[in-house]
Amino acid sequence: MPQAPFDSPFDSPFDWTDAEARRRADAGLVRTLRPRPAVPDVLDLASNDYLGLTHHPDITAAAAGAARRWGAGATGSRLVTGTTELHAELERELAAFCGFEAALVFSSGYAANLAALTALSARGSLIVSDAGNHASIVDGCRLSRADTEVVPHADPEAVGKTLAAHPGRRALVVTDSVFSVDGDAAPLAGHAAVCRAHGAALVVDDAHGLGVLGDGGRGALHAAGLAGAPDVVATLTLSKSLGSQGGAVLGPARVVDHLVNAARTFIFDTGLAPAAAGAALASLRRLRAEPGLAGRARTVAATLHARLTAAGLTAVRPDAAVVSVRAPSPERAVRWAADCRAEGLAVGCFRPPSVPDGISRLRLTARADLTDRQIDAAVATILRTAPDGAVSRTP
């Protein structure tokens, strides 16, 4: 029988999206997709390719070789057909490099955070989360069904007070190692101390620390002396310093075994594509062979910060490879980023509601492969296109 006409006061059940689109446009918050060419047509300070490996011929050759050998896709979940010998090799080498007992690879860093937070907590347990944490951590807290307490940014004392207010409860503290908006590092030693004082676990998202911080780029937890600790778990991504795709959870073997059996984003998601696993493994081996890459990324970030602040711009001193430059308003931040692109420089643009403090920024990502000439060009372009109000003091 023919279907009855849709009975609704609207022409379509999605008419409400038009009102949402108008609201976003009025607020200047419309997001758009901008397909990039295979060969970059601008100087890239917008991506998270901190070590410049995503186009490295050895890395792309490893990706192609893995696809030819293992196929274009993983073909199933990790527990069915989605685990290849390549995945196991990547997990072993990743754990050894970062100093942990075991590692488990996921299809994305987002999925890794969801897995750690949902599988290591439960209804009635407590999660203490930094106010500046990434959206994937926020979503993991929501999905965990645990009671979540959000504490002020980078404040171990506040973490300790929150844990003290919930004595005897199963608890974990979660924080980014390096925060993606301003590029500042979390006080991991302070967090670990208060966690141990109250019997809580510490979960650290090292997405922006791996490849940049620690001995030879082994990450922020390695730098803090916390790698391999029995009460510490790390999550990370393979899509930043390693120039590939995917994520991982690192920690005690019994924690990783628990995730295999309890983490829904592991059990029910298709495994990471072999090409991505092959590329990440090749990048990891290159980082191990060239430990100076991490230091070079930090040097580039420090140089950008020093040059821009010397010219009168306000920028947060980088602890890793992210340089955050304050903009006078959301509208002028968008215009500034667009003007940079028009002059051949790609930069990130962060504005409300993506930033919790309401301050708009240009977000620059340092790369280990940037030359001194490229750094000069980037600084000149940012200064030349700076809007009124961006220079907050006399150089």
| Residues identified as active-site | 180, 208, 240
What is the Cα–Cα distance from 129 to 107, expressed in whole angstroms?
24
Determine if residue 178 is left, alpha or beta; phi over 0 gives left, psi from -120 to 50 gives alpha, anything else beta. Answer: beta
Where does 142-246 show beta strands of DSSP type E?
Answer: 147-151, 171-176, 201-205, 232-237
> What distance in Å separates the CA atoms of residue 61 and residue 391, rounded to the nearest whole number?
45
Instruction: Report H helices in the chain.
Output: 16-27, 57-70, 85-98, 109-119, 135-144, 156-164, 188-198, 220-223, 253-262, 264-267, 274-289, 292-310, 330-342, 372-385
Residue 97 to residue 94: CA distance in whole angstroms: 5
Whether residue 366 contacts residue 297, with contact meaning beta carbons closer than 8 Å, is answered with yes
| 3-state secondary structure at position 172 | strand
DSSP state of 271: P
Rounded to an integer, what distance in angstroms lies between the CA atom of residue 355 and that of residue 376?
28
User: 20 to each of 9, 133, 355, 369, how far by Cα in Å?
Assistant: 18, 26, 20, 41
How far is CA 183 from its chain centroid?
11
Among 215, 206, 191, 182, smallest CA distance to 319 is for: 182
Q: How far apart are CA 258 and CA 268, in angstroms?
A: 15
43 closest CA partner among 382, 310, 318: 382
Report the candidate in 256, 161, 144, 238 with the shortest Cα–Cα distance to residue 200.
Answer: 161
**Alpha-carbon distance 28 to 314, whole Å?**
23
Please compute, for residue 266, the number of CA atoms within 13 A of its CA located in the half-sphere on the CB side: 24
Phi, psi of 295 (to 5 degrees): -65, -35
